[in-house]
Structure 1
């Protein structure tokens, strides 16, 4: 059997539905001779007669009738493929972005309105979690993260850096004893975080004044004068907290990570470019 051509299958369907070469050719906006050649080529490719030729028109053979359902299934699949390609080219659909809550709240969300004005049919699903989303497992389409990928079928690039500082309230600063800082620490499930490890080194076995499980609660604890905390600059600077010192040794690189098989997707690329430019534009504020 020779290789079939999809246009020939379309010609077969049109003739089966219309019954005459003239009507079928008109429905496909092609010449009668061209349509006839396509039918003959398809029959030759399948090595099967598909139509009975009469002066009044064409009728399907038994073989043609048996193939009609499969041809219609091909038509449905081709239509779905075409609509999907059209949707992709028009940047329609949803893109799932995984990132840290800090970046989502203080960087991405404030700029998302302008992005959606440019792409009104492109919608973002933000996944924020202290744990790293697994792009290889399809938890997200792309990610803005502070952990360099080491495995999985992903492509990534460094787009910026997130800076940290030691923060406290103005009241705490006025009453502060440098030798006896009360540290606000992360809970035991977050001991792997660079900020938690730095504080553990400062505590040297002593107990923290309090532990929490989110940056938001650490900011609130600082504002309440409970103690000092290591906080990302873009989170702490807009508040009334005082930065006692930059802590450059725990600054984190920001990586844009994309599933490799999605790097050529126009909608994914649009979101990736938006995120990359956002980090670069606001680098002074992030660091």
Structure 2
């Protein structure tokens, strides 16, 4: 038998106590379809049928009643820990995974995402790599590719444009070349695009987006950035038109179960509103 998932056992208890998926959905915030899948997964794990299913609801089998007795005892044992957690003063955290430029925009607009009265806090996980939302490495991910498969919920939040940028006030001896993310660190489409260009003189390399921007600001050369980052920076101006080949869609990805948590649902709504309010900036329609 595989290791039991305690969350699945707790969902089983809610179904057993309420007599059906819809009632359990109201008490857990999960969809009936999700609850049904979790109950089936638990039955497969223990190798026993726990419910007799009918149009009138879910009725416990003999094995189901045995598990319910054991689960209630375990739930009672866990209750002191739950009570301690609730009174410890720690608010639940919502982890947001995003690339450097997107994380910076969210940080700059933090007041639109969180208020002192919110019963949660926000944890940024800034990385160009894609975290595994299916295995809950973060609650919310903002990424440029829609994931394939998994128990995930995906929504489009923005169209993103890219352009070349240079220093707004370059030094007299500023070079006309380019600065780029190094080949070993090039994880994004924009970094690979520049590396694939012929007859481009790269005069400096960076291993992070922050260093890339610092080099551009210093006049080391021009570099490629998303317009929502470059156009917000008063030290930069566009060095050319929007690069059509780099047009992207920004997606918000959440675990299909986690998205029903009140704090996650709140942040999903606020991030979506923030993206809608800045749609023109994302599309590159607000150049300096």
TM-score of the superposition, structure 1-length normalised?
Answer: 0.63
Stretches of 4+ moved more than 6 A in 1?
Answer: 69-72, 78-84, 173-177
| Map of 1:24 onto structure 2 | none
Give the C-alpha shift of residue 172 in structure 1. 5.3
Deviations 1:136-185 (A, max 9, x none): 222101111122212322110111022211111245598899xxx51211
Q: How many residues align?
A: 214
In the alignment, does 2:217 pair up with 1:223?
yes
Give the C-alpha shift of residue 220 in structure 1. 1.4
- Contact 1:157/1:255 (<8 A) preserved: yes
- Contact 2:96/2:124 (<8 A) preserved: yes
- Contact 2:168/2:234 (<8 A) preserved: no
SS of residue paired to 2:196 = helix
Structure 2 CA distance, aligned partners of 1:70 and 1:191? 49
In the alignment, does 2:256 pair up with 1:260?
yes
Structure 2 CA distance, aligned partners of 1:282 and 1:272? 16
Structure 2 CA distance for partners of 1:276 and 1:118, relative to 1, 3 Å: farther
Give the C-alpha shift of residue 202 in structure 1. 2.3
- Contact 1:223/1:240 (<8 A) preserved: yes
- Contact 2:113/2:271 (<8 A) preserved: no
Q: What runs of 5+ residues in structure 2 fail to find an aligned partner?
A: 1-15, 18-69, 284-288
Deviations 1:206-255 (A, max 9, x none): 66211112222112111211111001222222222220221132122110
| Map of 2:184 onto structure 1 | 189
Give the C-alpha shift of residue 278 in structure 1. 1.0
| Map of 1:166 onto structure 2 | 164
SS of residue paired to 1:148 = coil
Structure 1 CA distance, aligned partners of 2:96 and 2:259? 14
Structure 2 CA distance for partners of 1:136 and 1:176, relative to 1, 3 Å: same
Structure 1 CA distance, aligned partners of 2:191 and 2:71? 62
Deviations 1:5-39 (A, max 9, x none): 98xxxxxxxxxxxxxxxxxxxxxxxxxxxxxxxxx
SS of residue paired to 2:142 = strand
| Map of 1:99 onto structure 2 | 98
CA RMSD of aligned residues (A): 3.5
Task: State which of 200, 203, 211 in structure 1 corresponds to 2:198.
Answer: 203
- Contact 1:166/1:228 (<8 A) preserved: yes
Q: What runs of 5+ residues in structure 1 fail to find an aligned partner?
A: 7-68
SS of residue paired to 1:126 = strand
- Contact 1:163/1:233 (<8 A) preserved: yes
Structure 1 CA distance, aligned partners of 2:158 and 2:117? 25
- Contact 2:162/2:243 (<8 A) preserved: yes
